[in-house]
Amino acid sequence: MKDQIMQIDIGVCTYRRASLDEALLSLAVLAVPENARLRIIVADNDQTRSAEGRVEALRSTIPHEIAYVHCPASNISIARNACLENATGDYLAFIDDDEDASENWLVELLHTAEKSGADAVLGPVRSVYSQTAPAWMREGDFHSTLPVWVDGEIRTGYTCNVLLNLNSPRVAGRRFNLALGKTGGEDTEFFSYMHHDGGKIAFAPEAHVYEPVSENRAGLSWLAKRRFRFGQTHGRLLQEKNSGFARLKHIGLATAKAGYCLGVAAVCILVPVPRYRYVLRGTMHIGVVSGLLGVREIRQYGAVEGAA
C-alpha cells in the first residue's frame, strides 16, 4: 500500500578504515525513496571496537538511525552476516566503507527491484583514480565493477553495491560462507547459490556508487591477485558441480582460454590497455584452473591484523 512505511537497512562492513566517515556522510544526504525510512547498520569487523567512536561522532550529523554492531574479527563474512542478522527492514542494501553513494542510489535500486521483482539488484561501482595512477589504468578503468551477463541473465553478484529483498524466500535465511571470509569470493558464492535456487538478479545502471582507488591498489600486482582469486572462486564452484570427464573438460577449456589471452597480450605488447586487459583475463582463467584443481583461494582479508 502506498501509505505503508517501508524500511530499508543499509549495511556498511568496516575494518580500520578512516574512509568510513565519508561513506556514512554520503548516506546522510541520500534521496529517500517515497514512503520509506532508512536505517544504517555499521558492522565493525576489527578485534577491538575501533569504529565505534567514529559512528558516535557522526550520529548527530546523520538523519537516519544507526545501529553499531561489533562482530570480530578480520572475516568479512562475519560482518556481512551480522548485517543480515541485525536487519529489521524490508530490504537490505550493502555498500563498502570506502565508497560514496550517489544521491539517488537507493531510489534507483528500489525502483528496479519493484519493477523487476528481482531478489537482488546490483548497481555499478565507478572507480575514481588519482593522477598518480598509471595512465593505462585510468584509461582502461580496470577497477570499476559491473555485473556479468551470461545468456541474457546475471548469474552471480557482489556486495559493494546491491539491494536484497529480505522478504524473498531465496534470500531469507541465506548467509555468507565463513570459510571464504579471509579470501574473498563469499559474495560470488552467495549470489551464485541464490541464482541456482531460483533467485533473480537485476541491474540498476543509474544506481552509482563511487570508489576512490587507493595507492596500494593502483598497481598491476593487486589487480592480478584479485583476478586470480576471482578465477579461483569460479573454478571452485565449477568443481562442486562437475566431476570426472566434465571437470577435465572445464580444466582444458580454462587452460585454452588462458593461453589465448596471454597470446593476444603478447601481440598487443606495444598497446598498454589491451595488453594488460588480456594479461588480467588470462590470469583469471589460470585462477579457474587452480580452483578446479582444488587449490584453496588466496587470503585477502585480515592481513593487517596478522601483520600486527
Length reported for the chain: 308
- Of the three residues 194, 216, 238, the one that is the final residue of a domain is 216
Closest by CA to 258, choosing from 282, 225, 242, is: 282
Q: Is 195 in the same domain as 244? A: no
The CATH number assigned to the domain holding 71 equals 3.90.550.10
pLDDT class of 36 with cuts at 50, 70, 90? very high
- Report d(CA 96, CA 203) in Å as an integer: 18
- In the chain, at which residue ranges do the beta strands (DSSP E only) sit? 6-14, 36-44, 65-70, 91-95, 100-101, 120-122, 125-128, 149-150, 153-154, 161-165, 201-203, 209-212
Residue at 1 is within a domain: no
- 177 in the same domain as 104: yes
Averaged pLDDT score across all residues of the chain:
95
- What's the number of domains the chain is made of? 2
- The answer to whether 236 and 250 are in contact (CB under 8 A) is no
Is pLDDT above 90 for 296? Answer: no
pLDDT at position 212 over 50:
yes
Dump pLDDT digits (tens) for 142-179: 999 999 999 999 999 999 999 999 999 999 999 999 99
Last residue of a domain, one of 190, 216, 242: 216
**What value does the mean pLDDT take over residues 278-287?**
98
